[in-house]
Chains A and B, each alone.
Chain A
Amino acid sequence: MRACDKRCGSVGTAPARPACRLSCGRIDENKDEEKVQDPNTGEAETKAEMGNKTWADLAGEMKTFLWNPEERTCLGRTAKSWGLILLFYFVFYTCLAGMFAFCMYVMLLTLSPYTPTYRDRVSPPGVMIRPYLNGFTIAFNISKRSTWQPYVDSMHHFLSTSGCLTSPVQEEKNIECISGQYFIQGGNESEEKKACQFKRSLLQNCSGIEDQTFGYSRGQPCILLKMNRIIGYRPGAGVPVSVDCKVQKGNESDLRSVDFYPGNGTFDLMYYPYYGKITHVNYTSPLVAMHFTDVKRNSLVPIQCSLHGKGIVNDVNSDRFLGRIIFMLSIGK
């Protein structure tokens, strides 16, 4: 039937139409009569043939294309034809979706749920700081509480939620580990791994326990630095990774003193390696707090804090967060 339509439809000129209809339009016999009775159709066709297509003709053509009552076609196809087409595409796309799902399933089967297949893109580790509000500029006036309160809130928020550094939780769920060596846990990959305690108190002056404002109220802000988690990564190859900070560009003397907690700004080996979020459930990322006790006031001081250790990369131009971080400190009175 569709082939037949096509043949009829393709004959551009009027005289050939009836013949074509006779040859392939068994069901359409009664419509032939209609056509004979309606001379207007023929006229319209000749008009179209003459090439003097007016907008009305065009609209008429458009209308016939949308719904042709004569051949009962919509957009040039009959209901049956549309049905078949849609059915075909439905089946086709279903099969395709099935194949896609199957491939994805097979691919996912090959993955381990605990360790990604490759970790070459994520290491060496990147670095982030807290507080983090909008960008890497920390600017406030000591005298105006409203300027530093958001930073303080951010620190509290970070320490209380993401790390769960509150001592009771740490003591209850995590174990005390032996400092100075990697905490390697063998056994089955799927076994739950123990996490080491990282108590908030380790951050000393920057723990926010004694000084609820993390030094912001005194113009000696604490900034927490964390190293990105990488499964199985052992930073420093036996020697703890340390942190230092200096003025990135400009006068070295703008940054006169920084205190680092804990342990002089090192990431203890016992917190590594990380075993992934499924098995290493309560893993707490170790932090290094940087206490900027004496920074030049009333000016924008660019500071770069970098990790140091074996295997740490901190000098790639394209990635300014790889093993280092750059931020601005601006402390006003």
Chain B
Amino acid sequence: LSASELEEKYGTSINKGLSSSRAAEILARDGPNSLTPPKATPEIVKFLKQMVGGFSILLWIGAVFSWISFGIQFAQGAESPFDNLYLGVVLALVVILTGIFAYYQEAKSTNIMASFSKMIPQQALVIRDAEKKELPAEQLVVGDIVEIKGGDRIPADIRLISAQGCKVDNSSLTGESEPQSRSCDFTHENPLETKNIAFYSTTCVEGTATGIVINTGDRTVIGRIASLASGVGNEKTPIAIEIEHFVYLVAGVAISIGVLFFIISVSMRYKILDSIIFLIGIIVANVPEGLLATVTVSLSLTAKRMAKKNCLVKNLEAVETLGSTSIICSDKTGTLTQNRMTVAHLWFDNQIYSADTSEDQTSKYAQPFDQSSPSWTALSKIVTLCNRAEFRPGQENLPIMKRVVVGDASETALLKFAEVILGDVMSIRAQNKKVAEIPFNSTNKFQLSIHETDDPNDKRFLLVMKGAPERILERCSTIMINGKEEPLDSEKAEAFQTAYMELGGMGERVLGFCHLYLPENEFPDTYPFDTDSMNFPTSNLCFVGLLSMIDPPRSTVPDAVSKCRSAGIKVIMVTGDHPITAKAIAKSVGIISATSETVEDIAKRLNIPVEQVNRREATAAVVNGMELKDMSLQQLDDILCNHSEIVFARTSPQQKLIIVEGCQRQVRGQGKGWKPISQALQGAVVAVTGDGVNDSPALKKADIGIAMGIAGSDAAKNAADMVLLDDNFASIVTGVEEGRLIFDNLKKTIAYTLTKNIAELCPFLIYIIASIPMPIGTITILFIDLGTDIIPSVALAYEKAESDIMNRRPRNKKKDRLVNEQLAVYSYLQIGIIQSVGAFVTYFTVYAEQGFLPSTLLGVRVDWENNAINDFEDSYGQEWTKYQRMYLQWTGYTAFFVSITIQQVADLIIRKTRRNSIFQQGLFRNKVIWVGIFSQIGIALILSYGLGHVTALNFIPLRFQYWFVAVPFAILIWVYDEVRKLFIRRYPGSK
């Protein structure tokens, strides 16, 4: 379309732009030019979800039952019906408070993210009413004429109508890392390919352009991708599944025991009302009310810790998902590498030298090559002079590597390289004044400049040239060896070829350098150099050397990759880059280990065609996006499971999604390799890193999507579960470590919490069966669950790892459950029973010392609870009023409570480890545990002595010695568990 047709189509004028009123009209029609954020669940729905999720429903049932029984009792005019009313209210409060808490925690973590993604409002330069105006980009409408210049973000999808050297960075959209030039010519049918459209959210790197807005907001290309991302369903996180499993388990136990005892008590001729009250008690005893809150706190503590290590977790549950990750699909650029070209190798004097590629090079002494050769002097001069890149002014205090450079990637690399070794490049350039220059272009593939020399005695001009090595060599007739020019014979050319091939084979970008001192007689001082006619020699130059550059891997990455490997995590590289570069980086960071070979490598070694190689022999594979396109899912699965080291190169975003799905189909086989499984079973847990908008579907699809904090686009961050603040792969590994640790620690927390459930449940059962006075009250139970036990169970989240958790394989989602049979059985049937026994000893002691011997207590319930009997005889012949008995009963509650608390201290200590002895782990390493223990005892003291006079709470100031009755049992728990751990260490694998 021509400009005038465009004007017509969009009802605008190129010179005058839209009128303000017309713009307002369109704005009203189309809505603001911004992406609608992914649909958020209404806050109230989120809140209500917390209210009914998990155990809450059970507790609601308990509360409703309490109210019903209150209603019945009240109607019957019983004496103290209000107990049940209070209980119902307390239960409801518990549900609401834990709900609010969980909601608050979630909101808090969402807020971190929200603040993170909030951006400064973008401005756009628009022509309206024939005037240039700065407007917020949100107010752009279709038909607006906008001007953009280098450095701007494109404010909408724009059809260019004029452009001067405009280049845009489309990487966030298409993954192409090179800036693309844009002009007003129509070059392709596909809007994504044509050169006259610039896309919303991409950046204009250089040049200027004017264009008509053709799409705004969600209708832009990027808006459509974003909506695609939100279309990809969110998978349930493994920890959510685990917790669900756990809730089902405990709720199942609670309901079945409750119903069982309801039936028993009814058939034992208890009144239905009493039976209902028992049912409530059993439910309350069985449900670990505080646990879900504890889990949330533990997760958010870990999330905080991870944030300190540069992993920002958006979704709390993702903390653990990272720990169960079995495959990481990582980007190359920026994640594995430093995302900056750096000189890696040099070739001069017939020798390859390597250069320092670490992140923080500072002095030239760190460079490991010989700087004394005169060839190097010549080479360094060319590197310095034949370079258009410059530092932005005002950065003298920054380390060289951090300074911002104006210029393309390779020139930047060369500039920094020179600056590090030679010092102030700018002054060298000033001393060697440039007299002529031919910039790099794609046809001649070289860059040339002519300089005066800094030697005042030398009046010759120096011609320096750099470019594609083969083109440079073509123009040379001599080569510099040790500072002397020697004729370039075939032998030397051969040496050049070998070096070139070798450097190229390492995936590096190679540049050739040559120079020529122009004879003084032919080119006097005043010689008019003309770059168009090239009135100076450009052949028969002297070849000086090669420099090769690469985007080097981050120094921490190889270590991190090997950690992943020992942790049983498969690292797959997925990149849009060239296979050779990808492979080179993969090799250097260890994604492809030194000893393994690809099919191609084997073919080369055995000198046979690729087709004849047994594919199973190759452990590594480099798969090209082109090959991937023609592959069936079956073949992809084949590759994913038969090769342990895989690199996908030249992949498109769509293919990334396919790869992620492929990975999710894999499951770790027994011992050897991986095997595909059907969709019905859960496959591998896949973590995916990405930064571009185009990655967001893959990020969403992945079990855990990791976006880059620095390079990442907002869409990617939105789709991701986690944001790496430093874009560093190594941070993922620390995240994995934390994730695994939290899984282990949650296991401990749950084991700790479940144990006392039995000690809370047994009293009810024995009360029903043996008809003894009630050993512990429902409200007292709530005080254990939500009072004394909370801080200790959170403290377990601070526990250090028992052994090197990074030497373990990722947990098998089907086998390594959060709560498994052993854990439940051990907690319930062993430690829990010991606790109950210990608590009952205290209970009987309290009663016996007050005059009720255990034998008297059996079967006493009906009379004991009879309000009218106020001369109840004890074992010694004394007579008790009802209230005196109740007071004693509450003393019993408190004593029971205290014994459980004391034994929970032992439980807490034993739960510090699962296999190691406590003494190996160190009793004092986790200080928070001690905070937990002291808080536990402190809360118990406050409840007993501080709140002992509030009747509704049923706490009584307890005689001091009763605190110690359960101590032998606490010690028993400890010793028993140490013995168990000893057996486990001695005979691993059994029971």
Query: What residues of chain A lie closer than 8 Å to B537, measured between beta carbons?
Result: none
Determine how close the nearest CB of chain B comes to the CB of A210; give it in whole angstroms.
28
Query: What residues of chain A lie closer than 8 Å to B883, measured between beta carbons?
Result: 316, 318-322
Q: Which residue of A lies closest to B988 (CB)?
A: A3
Given contacts A122-B880, A126-B881, A319-B884, contact A116 B841 (CB under 8 A): no
Q: Taking the complex as formed, is A111 at the interface, i.e. its CB lies under 8 A from any CB of chain B? A: yes
Inter-chain CA distance A11–B874, complex, in Å, is: 61
Q: Would B677 and A49 count as touching, CB distance under 8 A? A: yes
Q: Which residue of B lies closest to A132 (CB)?
A: B868
Q: Which residue of B lies closest to A19 (CB)?
A: B670
Query: What residues of chain B lie closer than 8 Å to A89, measured between beta carbons?
Result: 829
Q: Would B868 and A135 count as touching, CB distance under 8 A? A: yes
Q: Taking the complex as formed, is A169 at the interface, i.e. its CB lies under 8 A from any CB of chain B? A: no
* Among A25-33, A173-181, A222-230, the stretch in contact with B: A222-230
Inter-chain CA distance A116–B989, complex, in Å, is: 53
Determine how close the nearest CB of chain B comes to the CB of A176; give it in whole angstroms.
22
Q: Would B884 and A96 count as touching, CB distance under 8 A? A: no
Q: Would B871 and A128 count as touching, CB distance under 8 A? A: yes
Inter-chain CA distance A111–B667, complex, in Å, is: 65
Which A residues between 83 and 109 are near B, CB-CB below 8 angstroms? Answer: 89, 92-93, 96, 99-100, 103-104, 107-108
9 contacts between A and B (CB under 8 A): A103-B841, A104-B841, A107-B845, A111-B849, A117-B849, A122-B850, A122-B884, A126-B884, A229-B878
Query: What residues of chain B lie closer than 8 Å to A12, measured between beta carbons?
Result: 667, 677, 681, 814
Inter-chain CA distance A283–B918, complex, in Å, is: 59
Q: Taking the complex as formed, is A51 at the interface, i.e. its CB lies under 8 A from any CB of chain B? A: yes
Q: Which residue of B lies closest to A322 (CB)?
A: B881
Inter-chain CA distance A316–B989, complex, in Å, is: 64
Binary CB contact string for chain A from 1 to 33 against chain B (1 if under 8 A, 0 otherwise): 011001000111101100110000000000000
Which B residues between 460 and 480 are near A, CB-CB below 8 angstroms? Answer: none
Inter-chain CA distance A150–B868, complex, in Å, is: 18
Q: Would B881 and A2 count as touching, CB distance under 8 A? A: no
Q: Would A93 and B878 count as touching, CB distance under 8 A? A: no
Q: Would A116 and B850 count as touching, CB distance under 8 A? A: yes
Q: Taking the complex as formed, is B568 at the interface, i.e. its CB lies under 8 A from any CB of chain A? A: no
Given contacts A111-B849, A132-B868, A277-B876, contact A121 B884 (CB under 8 A): yes
Given contacts A49-B677, A49-B681, A321-B883, contact A274 B877 (CB under 8 A): yes
Q: Taking the complex as formed, is A55 at the interface, i.e. its CB lies under 8 A from any CB of chain B? A: no
Contact of B878 among A52, A99, A119, A136 (CB under 8 A): A119
Query: What residues of chain B lie closer than 8 Å to A115, measured between beta carbons?
Result: 876
Inter-chain CA distance A117–B853, complex, in Å, is: 11
Binary CB contact string for chain B from 930 to 970 against chain A (1 if under 8 A, 0 otherwise): 00000000000000000000010000000100000100110
Q: Taking the complex as formed, is A50 at the interface, i.e. its CB lies under 8 A from any CB of chain B? A: yes
Q: Taking the complex as formed, is B830 at the interface, i.e. its CB lies under 8 A from any CB of chain A? A: yes
Given contacts A49-B681, A103-B841, contact A231 B876 (CB under 8 A): yes
* A to B contact number (C-beta, < 8 Å): 146
Query: What residues of chain B lie closer than 8 Å to A104, measured between beta carbons?
Result: 841, 844, 854
Q: Would A16 and B877 count as touching, CB distance under 8 A? A: no
Inter-chain CA distance A324–B669, complex, in Å, is: 79
Q: Would B851 and A116 count as touching, CB distance under 8 A? A: yes
Q: Would A121 and B887 count as touching, CB distance under 8 A? A: yes
Q: Would A111 and B848 count as touching, CB distance under 8 A? A: yes
Q: Would A121 and B891 count as touching, CB distance under 8 A? A: yes
Q: Taking the complex as formed, is B188 at the interface, i.e. its CB lies under 8 A from any CB of chain A? A: no
Q: Taking the complex as formed, is B35 at the interface, i.e. its CB lies under 8 A from any CB of chain A? A: no
Binary CB contact string for chain B from 885 to 900 against chain A (1 if under 8 A, 0 otherwise): 0011001000000000
Q: Which residue of B lies closest to A233 (CB)?
A: B878
Q: Taking the complex as formed, is A280 at the interface, i.e. its CB lies under 8 A from any CB of chain B? A: yes
Binary CB contact string for chain A from 114 to 131 against chain B (1 if under 8 A, 0 otherwise): 111111011001111000
Binary CB contact string for chain A from 126 to 145 against chain B (1 if under 8 A, 0 otherwise): 11100010111000000000
Inter-chain CA distance A118–B814, complex, in Å, is: 57
Q: Would B834 and A118 count as touching, CB distance under 8 A? A: no
Query: What residues of chain B lie closer than 8 Å to A127, measured between beta carbons?
Result: 870
Query: What residues of chain A lie closer than 8 Å to B841, measured between beta carbons?
Result: 100, 103-104, 107
Query: What residues of chain B lie closer than 8 Å to A236, measured between beta carbons?
Result: none
Which A residues between 221 and 266 are near B, CB-CB below 8 angstroms? Answer: 226, 228-231
Given contacts A100-B841, A118-B849, contact A128 B880 (CB under 8 A): no
Q: Would A321 and B678 count as touching, CB distance under 8 A? A: no
Given contacts A229-B878, A229-B879, contact A51 B871 (CB under 8 A): no
Q: Taking the complex as formed, is A332 at the interface, i.e. its CB lies under 8 A from any CB of chain B? A: no
Q: Would A321 and B881 count as touching, CB distance under 8 A? A: yes
Q: Would A231 and B870 count as touching, CB distance under 8 A? A: no
Q: Would A103 and B968 count as touching, CB distance under 8 A? A: yes
Q: Would B681 and A119 count as touching, CB distance under 8 A? A: no
Inter-chain CA distance A20–B670, complex, in Å, is: 9
Q: Would B670 and A11 count as touching, CB distance under 8 A? A: yes
Query: What residues of chain B lie closer than 8 Å to A283, measured between beta carbons?
Result: 877
Determine how close the nearest CB of chain B comes to the CB of A28; give it in whole angstroms.
18
Query: What residues of chain A lie closer than 8 Å to B891, measured between beta carbons?
Result: 121
Q: Would B850 and A121 count as touching, CB distance under 8 A? A: yes
Q: Would A321 and B882 count as touching, CB distance under 8 A? A: yes
Inter-chain CA distance A320–B844, complex, in Å, is: 27
Q: Taking the complex as formed, is A276 at the interface, i.e. its CB lies under 8 A from any CB of chain B? A: yes
Q: Taking the complex as formed, is B52 at the interface, i.e. its CB lies under 8 A from any CB of chain A? A: no
Inter-chain CA distance A316–B883, complex, in Å, is: 10
Query: What residues of chain A lie closer than 8 Å to B868, measured between beta carbons?
Result: 132, 134-136
Query: What residues of chain B lie closer than 8 Å to A20, measured between beta carbons?
Result: 670
Inter-chain CA distance A282–B677, complex, in Å, is: 84
Inter-chain CA distance A274–B989, complex, in Å, is: 65
Q: Would B951 and A318 count as touching, CB distance under 8 A? A: yes
Determine how close the nearest CB of chain B comes to the CB of A59; give it in whole angstroms.
19
Query: What residues of chain B lie closer than 8 Å to A3, measured between beta carbons?
Result: 989-990
Q: Taking the complex as formed, is B815 at the interface, i.e. its CB lies under 8 A from any CB of chain A? A: yes
Which A residues between 284 and 333 are near B, CB-CB below 8 angstroms? Answer: 316, 318-322, 325
Contact of A107 among B675, B829, B848, B878 (CB under 8 A): B848
Query: What residues of chain B lie closer than 8 Å to A122, measured between beta carbons?
Result: 850-851, 874, 878-880, 884
Inter-chain CA distance A99–B835, complex, in Å, is: 12
Q: Which residue of A lies closest to B951 (CB)?
A: A318
The list of the 5 closest CB pairs from A to B, nearest first, reads A51-B680, A277-B877, A126-B881, A319-B883, A228-B879
Q: Which residue of B lies closest to A120 (CB)?
A: B850
Query: What residues of chain A lie closer than 8 Å to B814, measured between beta carbons?
Result: 12
Determine how close the nearest CB of chain B comes to the CB of A329; give it in whole angstroms.
17
Q: Would B844 and A107 count as touching, CB distance under 8 A? A: yes
Which B residues between 669 and 697 are near A, CB-CB below 8 angstroms? Answer: 669-670, 675, 677-681
Contact of B871 among A103, A228, A231 (CB under 8 A): A228
Q: Would B877 and A280 count as touching, CB distance under 8 A? A: yes
Q: Would B678 and A51 count as touching, CB distance under 8 A? A: yes
Q: Taking the complex as formed, is B833 at the interface, i.e. its CB lies under 8 A from any CB of chain A? A: yes
Q: Would B851 and A126 count as touching, CB distance under 8 A? A: no
Inter-chain CA distance A11–B670, complex, in Å, is: 7
- Contacts A108-B853, A228-B878 known; list 18 others, CB within 8 Å: A3-B989, A13-B669, A15-B675, A19-B670, A103-B841, A117-B850, A118-B851, A122-B851, A122-B884, A126-B881, A132-B868, A228-B879, A228-B880, A319-B881, A319-B882, A321-B870, A322-B881, A325-B870
